[in-house]
């Protein structure tokens, strides 16, 4: 009888009691949920492909991982204890494929409970194409000009070609790859510099890295000029003798550094006749010798020889 009385007491108003218990459970659940905190990490995303395929376009380098748990626990979780990855290695054909972003915990993160984790974006859609490898010629992108009076004689790139790899559509039509701009403005001497290669698409990869070395040979500009109407003078003529006037157009072809030649005027270049051996009047054929500033090269001049008439100075 006593057992029956206990049972009747338990079952008395049982719907109300069940509702009360359920409400208590819900209140406990909501309390636990409301007491949880959230933090987030930007985690590097690893994308895995079949060895013969790759993505035809770019994809996120990181994903956002949201962590929910007790405040005192989640603050102790380190960013490198969470890995994010997408696995496309099962696909062995070109096409558009969607895969879920997976999360893997390690270290202290595996011990935290309760712990909720979600990732944004949840899925990744990529166009897969055949992986292609190709050797491209490196072309320097040179801008500017050396200082006035100097010129770029020759340039070199080391290495002269690089191997790139990427999706078929991004690689198959490429023949060369350019460097970033190399400014040679105001340069007056040989120089070398390291410069980065400029990819036409971010999904293209360069074997061995994207840095090459550029070397330039810069020299002073050498110019050739032709001077007309060059003066001709006599040297060391005896005081008792005199020479008749010279007739004709005298020319001189010279070569020198542009900046050096700009220092001089036409009168600084002349032709000379050495009369030091003449001791009496008469007609003579004498060699003509150029007289020019140091550092200037005479390529040609006319005349090489001149006929002069020497007479006695009248008293």
Structure confidence by residue, pLDDT tens digits, 49-98: 999 999 998 899 999 999 899 988 888 888 889 999 999 999 999 999 99
Q: Which pair of tokens denotes residue 34?
A: 């409301």
Residue 33: its pLDDT value, please?
45
Quick check: 291 and 254 in contact, CB under 8 A? no
Q: Is residue 32 pLDDT above 70, yes or no?
A: no
Out of 29-33, 115-119, 302-306, 310-314, pick the least confident: 29-33
Given this model, what pLDDT does residue 131 score? 95
- C-alpha 128/C-alpha 272 separation (Å) is 82
Model pTM above 0.95: no
Indicate if the pLDDT at residue 147 is higher than 80.
yes
Residue found under tokens 């719907």: 15
- The answer on pLDDT for 46 being more than 90 is yes
pLDDT level of residue 19 (50, 70, 90 thresholds)? low
Handedness of CA 118, 120, 125, 128 (dihedral sign): negative
| pLDDT given for residue 78 in this prediction | 86
Average of per-residue pLDDT values in the chain = 88
pLDDT for 140 equals 97
Q: Taking residues 195-202, report their average pLDDT.
A: 92
Q: Which of 306, 239, 232 is nearest to 278 (CA)?
A: 239
pLDDT of residue 31: 43
- Region for residue 61 given its phi and psi (left: phi exceeds 0; alpha: psi -120 to 50; beta: otherwise): alpha
Whether the pLDDT of residue 243 is over 90: the answer is: no
Higher pLDDT, residue 212 or 237: 212
pLDDT surpassing 90 at residue 242: no
Query: Considering only CA atoms, which of 254, 255, 250, 245 is closest in space to residue 231?
Result: 250
Band of residue 110 on the pLDDT scale cut at 50, 70, 90: confident
Per-residue burial over 203-216, b if 16 or more Cβ lie within 10 Å, else e, is: bbebeeebebebeb
């Amino acid at each position: 009888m006593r057992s029956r009385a206990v049972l009747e007491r338990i079952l008395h108003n049982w719907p109300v009691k069940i509702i009360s218990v359920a409400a208590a459970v819900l209140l406990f659940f909501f309390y636990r949920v409301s007491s949880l905190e959230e933090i987030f990490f930007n985690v590097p995303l690893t994308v895995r492909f079949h060895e013969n395929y790759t993505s035809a376009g770019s994809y996120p380098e990181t994903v956002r991982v949201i962590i929910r748990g007790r405040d005192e626990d989640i603050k102790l979780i380190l960013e490198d204890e969470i890995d994010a990855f997408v696995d496309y290695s099962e696909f062995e054909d070109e096409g558009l494929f969607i895969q879920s972003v997976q999360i893997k915990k390690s270290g202290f993160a595996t011990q935290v409970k309760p712990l909720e984790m979600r990732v944004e974006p949840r899925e990744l859609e990529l166009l897969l194409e055949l992986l292609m490898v190709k050797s491209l010629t490196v072309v320097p992108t040179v801008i500017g000009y050396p200082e006035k009076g100097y010129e770029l004689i020759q340039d070199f790139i080391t290495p002269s070609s690089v191997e790139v790899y990427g999706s078929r559509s991004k690689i198959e039509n490429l023949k060369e790859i350019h460097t970033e701009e190399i400014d040679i403005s105001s340069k007056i001497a040989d120089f070398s510099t390291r410069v980065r290669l400029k990819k036409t698409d971010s999904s293209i990869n360069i074997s061995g890295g994207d840095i090459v070395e550029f070397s330039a040979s810069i020299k002073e500009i050498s110019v050739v000029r032709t001077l007309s109407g060059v003066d001709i003078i006599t040297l060391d003529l005896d005081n008792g003798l005199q020479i008749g006037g010279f007739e004709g157009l005298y020319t001189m072809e010279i070569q020198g550094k542009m900046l050096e030649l700009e220092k001089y005027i036409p009168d600084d270049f002349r032709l000379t006749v050495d009369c030091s051996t003449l001791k009496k009047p008469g007609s003579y054929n004498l060699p003509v010798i150029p007289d020019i500033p140091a550092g200037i090269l005479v390529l040609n001049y006319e005349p090489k020889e001149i006929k002069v008439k020497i007479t006695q100075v009248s008293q």
